[in-house]
Amino acid sequence: MRLALDEAHRAVRGGDVPVGAVVLSADGTTVLATGHNEREATGDPTAHAEVVALRRAALELGEWRLTGCTLVVTLEPCTMCAGALVQSRVDRVVYGARDEKAGAAGSLWDLVRDRRLNHRPEVIEGVLADECASLLTDFFRDR
């Protein structure tokens, strides 16, 4: 999560909301990819930290299935990212702050653990939650 927070700080430089993500290898020992929110920087509406990190991890592994991998992100994934997490077959999602307005991993929806889906990653929430949340609060207060 410390690495994901470092990534989140990088998003601000491009004028983006500070959210950062990291993908860990199946054995948990290697960082496969990192990513931060790049919507403003790239003009890509899908360039959320999670999607950026998942794409890079898949490139690194040479395939789209990220079976066994863990995605760590500073903010609860939205519906798009929750969908991407299910599609990429990651085993675990770890997030910091809850997103009561758009969260799709326990707050507003719980897409990643919907029993109708045949792949449901484990969810661990609240890791360094205060730090992850205050990064966002500070960002929006400064705007």
98 binds Zn ion (CB under 5 A): no
- Chain positions 21 to 60 lying near Zn ion, rule: CB under 5 A, are 48
Q: From residue 4, how far is each of 10, 11, 57 by CA, in Å?
A: 10, 11, 14
CB 74 within 8 A of CB 132: yes
81 binds Zn ion (CB under 5 A): yes
22 forms beta bridges with: 34, 72
78 binds Zn ion (CB under 5 A): yes
Active site residue 40: no
- Token code pair at residue 93: 């999602």
1/111 with CB nearer Zn ion: 111
48/98 with CB nearer Zn ion: 48
**Dihedral over Cα of 83, 50, 3, 11: its sign:** negative
57: Cα separation from own chain's centroid: 12
Given 7, 38, 50, 76, which residue is catalytic?
50
68/83 with CB nearer Zn ion: 83
Stretch that binds Zn ion, among 37-45, 53-61, 81-89, 121-129 (CB under 5 A): 81-89
Interface residues with Zn ion (CB under 5 A) are: 48, 78, 80-81
